[in-house]
Structure 1
């Protein structure tokens, strides 16, 4: 398995030429959005109304928030988030859900419109566009990957996420996860059983890439399991 840390600039690994390291993930983002839109397009509106793996969020909320996140410039995202945070009594979770629900309830955020929006964002990412066209950093990729994994698990539909994308996002999330999740993964190696990536040091905890991501993002209580002894 490949060690995903070699793809990212991390302070705890040996120093070497990092000229190939980039904060732009256009190709991976385009692939994730393409797979997500292909899965969403044929679904009836009733499927979008179903619960996602994120407590209190519908599938529609998840997709609407993703479209808002990818298409909104950083400054405007910050202002909207700060306003929502104040309105929701400074609960970050409630503020994020409020943004998602407002977006999903808008006149141009029907399921069909959101598929069109994500298709446009996919095309912009594939063309190498950034800035106002589509956000393409690792944060944007993380939003797209967990949304795709969440939708796939919630609706039991296959959505292929590239290995490099799932591994990079899992590594990023493991580094910044809440304390209760870090308590499970600290001092261990996380390894995907269906993708060629692993990271960390210590006893191996394994699961599919989707299982690991759902746990790291609090979408599942099922932690990666110890690898079988040889």
Structure 2
């Protein structure tokens, strides 16, 4: 299975020359956005209104937040997030949902506008653009991957996520996950049954790449399961 650690500058992995560490994920991000756009384009409005796997979020809000995140400058994202945090009593979850709902309720938040926005972001990313309003780092990739996985699980439409992308995002999230999730995965190896990646040390916990990601991001209560004994 792939050694994913070489792709990320992780503070808790052995020190070595990191000159070749990947800092942009243009190819993978463009692929995810392309797959998400293709899946969303034919959906009826009712599907967009469906509940997502993220509590209290609709599919429309998940996609609107992704489009906002990927097309907004870092400075503006910070300002908007800080303002929303103060307005929502300093609840990070409520602040993020409020941003998503404003984005979904705006003229740019309709299904047609969002599909067009994602297509533009896909094209800009594929072209190798990397400026303040076209994000191509691992954070942007993580937002796109979990949005795609969430939407796919919510509406039952397959959305292809590259193995390297799903594995890198799972690894990053496993290191940053809340305590209650780390309590399940600590001291174990996480292995995808449908992708060529695994990471960690200890007994193997497995699931599909999507199942692992949904659990790590709190979109599912179903934890990866112990691998069958040989």
- For the criterion TM > 0.5, the same-fold answer is yes
1:39-54 correspondence runs (5 A)? 39-54=39-54
- Alignment-derived partner of residue 158 in structure 2: 158
- Alignment-derived partner of residue 9 in structure 1: 9
Tell me if structure 2 keeps the 8 A contact 1:121–1:133.
no
Per-residue CA deviations over 1:40-67 (Å, capped at 9, x if unaligned) read 0000011000000000000000000000
- Alignment-derived partner of residue 147 in structure 1: 147
State the shift of 1:81 in Å: 0.2
- Alignment-derived partner of residue 220 in structure 1: 220
Distance, in Å, in 2 between the alignment partners of 1:23 and 1:77 is 20
Tell me if structure 2 keeps the 8 A contact 1:191–1:204.
yes
Distance, in Å, in 1 between the alignment partners of 2:9 and 2:108 is 39
State the shift of 1:78 in Å: 0.5
Structure 1: which 5+ runs fail to align?
none
Distance, in Å, in 2 between the alignment partners of 1:83 and 1:207 is 38
State the shift of 1:35 in Å: 0.2
Tell me if structure 2 keeps the 8 A contact 1:124–1:133.
no
Tell me if structure 2 keeps the 8 A contact 1:64–1:114.
yes
Distance, in Å, in 1 between the alignment partners of 2:132 and 2:124 is 10
- Alignment-derived partner of residue 19 in structure 2: 19
Number of residues of Structure 1 aligned to a counterpart in Structure 2: 230
- Alignment-derived partner of residue 114 in structure 1: 114
Distance, in Å, in 1 between the alignment partners of 2:141 and 2:61 is 18
| CA distance 1:86–1:133, change in 2 (3 Å) | closer
- Alignment-derived partner of residue 175 in structure 1: 175
Tell me if structure 1 keeps the 8 A contact 2:74–2:133.
no
Distance, in Å, in 2 between the alignment partners of 1:98 and 1:15 is 40
Secondary structure at 1:108 match in 2: helix
After TM superposition, the score normalised by the length of structure 2 is 0.98
State the shift of 1:158 in Å: 0.5
